[in-house]
Amino acid sequence: MTEVTERFDVLGFDVTLLDGGPAASFSLQRWQAPPGAGGIPVHLHRRTEEAFYVIDGEIGLWLDDHVEVLPMGSYVHVAPGRPHSFWNPGERPATYITVMAPGGFERYLVELAAGLRDVADEEQAAKLRERLATAYDITVTGPPPTTVR
């Protein structure tokens, strides 16, 4: 049975980890984004696959230099090696599920959220991301894209 294991804020998004346990082969997160929530830095995963399913509202997705607004009911799979970012371009909250395989990347989100609470500026935030990138499968390739509609 899937259960809520942790809930936290990261970059203005309310994230709830839904986890089947430490032996799970994937991680599942529910993201809630307030209206106009800004983008996550453009990044890629070398081994991790990521999929988004929009439950309510809409999300903007920047994938391989292409921007698309995904309405409720949309699903998209992001294969390893593809640069991507996401945000809420809408005027109302958005809720979506992210599935990542293999499991384990969710710990990056927890550590990033905790670390960002203690940084004083963007330079410290960049150093935190760089340190965490060595432990987790993520490479930040650029700042959040201009969040166009």
CATH number for the domain spanning 48: value is 2.60.120.10
DSSP letter assigned to residue 36? T
In a domain, 57, yes or no: yes
Domain boundaries, position 19:
3-142
Residue 2 confidence (pLDDT) above 90:
no
In a domain, 147, yes or no: no
Minimal CA–CA distance to 87: which of 16, 148, 15?
Answer: 148
pTM, rounded to two decimals = 0.86
Residues 6+ apart with CB under 8 A from 97: 28, 29, 30, 31, 52, 53, 55
In a domain, 133, yes or no: yes
In a domain, 148, yes or no: no
Structural domains of the chain, count: 1
Q: Is the Cβ–Cβ distance between 96 and 53 less than 8 Å?
A: yes
User: What would the pLDDT profile of 53-76 be if each residue is shown by its tens digit?
Assistant: 999 999 999 999 899 999 999 999
Q: What gap in Å lies between CA 7 and CA 11, rounded to an integer? A: 13
Residue 23 confidence (pLDDT) above 90:
no
Residue 39 confidence (pLDDT) above 50:
yes
